[in-house]
Amino acid sequence: MFDVGFSELVVIGLVALVVIGPERLPRVARTLGHLVGRLQRYVADVKADINREIELDELRKMRDQMQKAASDIESSVSAEVSATQAELDLAGEEINKSLEAAAGEGKPAEAAPAEAAPAEAKPAEKKPA
């Protein structure tokens, strides 16, 4: 931060010794040490808070991206489901029409799937004993 070498510190110490005096210099140096320590802790706390806010902002951006991707996937899946449902409805209508046409002509419906036409239950034949 500051470019202060050892020779500059010696000069500052000698000037402080002359100005403050040898009796009060240790107390002043101790007070300055405590103040510098507090300042360093404060700066470290501010840096940590800033880093936390940056990480929190990045996490929020990532969450928003994930939510957007999830909604995109959800919309594409629901579009595919509705398209498939429409195709199945059309196929069901075609099967029903072919069954109605076959029933109207009197022909048995040979290729009728089990879901489209329910199978008729035949009574069990009893043989006389």
Q: What tens digit of pLDDT does each residue of 27-43 get?
A: 998 999 999 999 999 99
In this prediction the pTM is: 0.48
Please say whether the beta carbons of 87 and 94 come within 8 A.
Answer: no
What the block records as the tokens of 122 is 């035949």
**For residue range 74-122, what is the model confidence (pLDDT) as tens digits?**
999 999 999 999 999 999 999 998 988 888 776 554 554 555 444 444 5
Query: How deeply is 62 buried, as exposed, middle or buried, from its count of CB atoms within 10 A (0-12, 13-18, 19+)?
Result: exposed
Supply the pLDDT for residue 101: 86
Give the confidence band of 123 by pLDDT, cuts at 50, 70, 90.
Answer: low
Average pLDDT over residues 7-26: 88
pLDDT higher than 90, residue 129: no
Give the confidence band of 125 by pLDDT, cuts at 50, 70, 90.
Answer: low
- Any idea what DSSP says for residue 24? T
Q: Which residues contact 28 (CB under 8 A, 6 or more apart)?
A: 16, 20
Supply the pLDDT for residue 66: 97
Supply the pLDDT for residue 105: 76
Rounded to the nearest 10 degrees, what angle do helices 6-20 and 25-105 cross at? Answer: 130
Alpha-carbon distance of 22 to 26, in angstroms, equals 8
